């Protein structure tokens, strides 16, 4: 179970933007790798705090998190990218410009991070985006999808060497003469793009960066309860970048719902229009109706009114947070015959003024408006 982001930062849900920022700053300084060399626990705490801030520091992501919890970002059960959080150190350090201003050196050159040497920047490959179409059944049950992606990957046999322009530093010092004197500034090395490495040799089919496009089948575990437009992230399944110390980008999976032929989704609830004949309404009937996981038999009492809504508990869509399952609401519509034969016509004419045929809503069901009110209360 993943720890609550508010808990990680030691704040309550009512904390405002300033308090969130302050809390993160405190944690980041406390667990900073430069202060805790070789301390695995501190590193985990540092990453956790960064991940929490990545979400809570962004009003839109925070709103999503408040509504859907971790599931909104990680997908089911944290199964992506090895589990522990989607952020790598580069993501974290790139946040720092915002949080610490220039105090930590910003600009990629400031500090070493984990395992990275000197001032070089770990180059991250670009993200890939794919859309995945899901049926209502797949959404209701969760599904493992296999998708084909075209990824840029480092070609077999490619090799990289230290960039001679920056000596592998990833940046170069530029000295300019101004009227105020000599100014020295560090800029990202344009030869290697900041990675500190350039291509050494590559096979003929690779591009100038030593990359080739490959078809790869990626398994995506989609949790039950996802909705149209939600995005899941599969870490490290985006494009690879050149260089021996680069990290791949991420694969962003955008959810699309395929419309069901008879069930309409509204959040976690499903709606179904059921049409019954006049005779069935009068005499009562058992009917098999379409639910999301197959047919369900329901019994309609004799004398059922058009407009009645039957609620089948738990036959809807599971909450993405795992808090219960929605209902299936069956809307009963009585089909009035448009043509009658002579015999039928006589029957209805005879009963036109009969007491049994006279509407008396007070004695029967609640009105349509009362029912709607009930549904939302």
Shortest Å, Cβ 222 to Zn ion:
41
Shortest Å, Cβ 160 to Zn ion:
11
Residue nearer to Zn ion on the CB measure, 110 or 284: 110
> Segment near Zn ion (CB under 5 A), from 35-43, 88-96, 160-168, 244-252?
160-168
Residue nearer to Zn ion on the CB measure, 127 or 191: 191
Shortest Å, Cβ 23 to Zn ion:
38
Shortest Å, Cβ 109 to Zn ion:
13
Contact call for residue 166 and Zn ion (CB under 5 A): yes
For residues 315 and 327, is the Cβ–Cβ distance under 8 A? Answer: yes
> Segment near Zn ion (CB under 5 A), from 51-59, 156-164, 201-209, 281-289?
156-164
Residue nearer to Zn ion on the CB measure, 121 or 315: 121
Residue listed under structure tokens 């990833």: 170
φ/ψ (deg, to 5) at 127: -80, 150
> Segment near Zn ion (CB under 5 A), from 30-38, 150-158, 191-199, 308-316?
191-199
Q: How would DSSP label each residue in 298-357?
A: EEEPTTPPTT-EEEETT-S-B-TTSS-B--EEEEEEEEPPS---HHHHHHHHHHTT-GGG
Contact call for residue 191 and Zn ion (CB under 5 A): yes
> Segment near Zn ion (CB under 5 A), from 143-151, 161-169, 290-298, 359-367?
161-169
Residue nearer to Zn ion on the CB measure, 33 or 108: 108
Cα separation, 71 vs 221, whole angstroms: 12
Shortest Å, Cβ 116 to Zn ion:
15
Contact call for residue 162 and Zn ion (CB under 5 A): no
CA-nearest of 344, 263, 362 to 305 is 362
For residues 198 and 180, is the Cβ–Cβ distance under 8 A? Answer: no
Residue nearer to Zn ion on the CB measure, 33 or 193: 193
CA-nearest of 293, 142, 292, 321 to 224 is 142
For residues 170 and 121, is the Cβ–Cβ distance under 8 A? Answer: yes
Residue nearer to Zn ion on the CB measure, 84 or 185: 185
> Segment near Zn ion (CB under 5 A), from 116-124, 183-191, 239-247, 319-327?
183-191
Shortest Å, Cβ 196 to Zn ion:
6
Q: Which region holds residue 235: left if phi is over 0, alpha if psi is between -120 and 50, else beta?
A: beta
Residue nearer to Zn ion on the CB measure, 76 or 108: 108
Residue listed under structure tokens 């003929």: 204
Contact call for residue 245 and Zn ion (CB under 5 A): no
Contacts of 3 (CB under 8 A, 6+ apart): 48
Contact call for residue 123 and Zn ion (CB under 5 A): no
Cα separation, 109 vs 43, whole angstroms: 20
Contact call for residue 139 and Zn ion (CB under 5 A): no
Contact call for residue 155 and Zn ion (CB under 5 A): no
**DSSP E strand boundaries for 92-243:** 128-134, 143-154, 159-162, 171-178, 181-188, 197-201, 211-222, 231-234
Contact call for residue 189 and Zn ion (CB under 5 A): yes
- Total residues in contact with Zn ion, by rule CB under 5 A: 6
- Rounded to a whole number of angstroms, the CA Rg of the chain reads 31
Shortest Å, Cβ 188 to Zn ion:
8
> Segment near Zn ion (CB under 5 A), from 80-88, 185-193, 233-241, 266-274?
185-193
Instruction: Figure out which of the listed residues 87, 163, 211, 251 binds Zn ion, where binding follows CB under 5 A.
Output: 163
Contact call for residue 290 and Zn ion (CB under 5 A): no
CA-nearest of 156, 157, 150 to 237 is 150
Q: Is 230 exposed, middle or buried (0-12, 13-18, 19+ CB in 10 A)?
A: buried
> Segment near Zn ion (CB under 5 A), from 111-119, 190-198, 217-225, 273-281?
190-198
Shortest Å, Cβ 192 to Zn ion:
3
Please report, as ranges, the residues that interact with Zn ion according to CB under 5 A. 163, 165-166, 189, 191-192
């Amino acid at each position: 179970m993943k720890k609550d982001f508010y808990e990680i930062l030691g704040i309550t849900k009512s904390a405002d933007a300033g308090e969130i920022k302050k809390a993160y700053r405190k944690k980041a300084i406390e667990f900073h790798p430069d202060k805790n060399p070789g301390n695995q626990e501190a590193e985990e705490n540092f990453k956790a705090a960064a991940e929490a801030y990545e979400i809570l520091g962004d009003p839109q992501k925070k709103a999503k998190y408040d509504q859907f919890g971790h599931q909104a970002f990680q997908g089911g059960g944290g199964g992506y990218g090895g589990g522990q959080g989607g952020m790598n150190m580069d993501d974290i350090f790139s946040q720092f410009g915002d949080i610490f201003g220039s105090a930590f050196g910003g600009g990629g050159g400031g500090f070493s991070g984990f395992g990275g040497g000197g001032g070089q920047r770990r180059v991250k490959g670009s993200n890939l985006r794919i859309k995945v179409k899901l049926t209502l059944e797949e959404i209701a049950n969760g599904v493992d999808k296999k998708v084909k992606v075209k990824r840029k990957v480092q070609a077999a046999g490619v090799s990289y060497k230290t960039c001679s322009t920056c000596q592998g530093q990833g940046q170069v010092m530029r000295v300019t003469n101004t009227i105020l004197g000599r100014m020295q500034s560090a800029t990202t090395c344009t030869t290697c793009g900041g990675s500190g490495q350039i291509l050494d040799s590559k096979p003929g089919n690779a591009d100038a960066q030593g990359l080739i496009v490959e078809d790869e089948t990626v398994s995506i575990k989609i949790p039950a309860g996802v909705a149209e437009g939600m995005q899941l992230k599969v870490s490290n399944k985006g494009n690879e970048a050149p260089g021996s110390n680069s990290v791949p980008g991420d694969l962003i999976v955008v959810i699309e719902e395929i419309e069901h032929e008879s069930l309409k989704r509204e959040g976690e609830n499903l709606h179904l229009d059921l049409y019954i004949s006049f005779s069935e309404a009068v005499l009562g009937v058992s009917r098999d109706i379409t639910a999301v996981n197959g047919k369900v038999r329901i019994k309609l009492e004799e004398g059922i009114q058009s407009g009645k809504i039957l609620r089948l508990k738990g036959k809807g869509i599971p909450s993405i947070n795992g808090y219960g399952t929605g209902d299936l609401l069956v809307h009963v519509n009585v089909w009035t015959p448009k043509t009658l034969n002579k015999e039928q016509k006589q029957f209805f004419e005879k009963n036109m003024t009969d007491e049994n045929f006279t509407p008396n809503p007070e004695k029967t069901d609640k009105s349509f408006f009362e029912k709607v009110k009930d549904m939302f209360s």
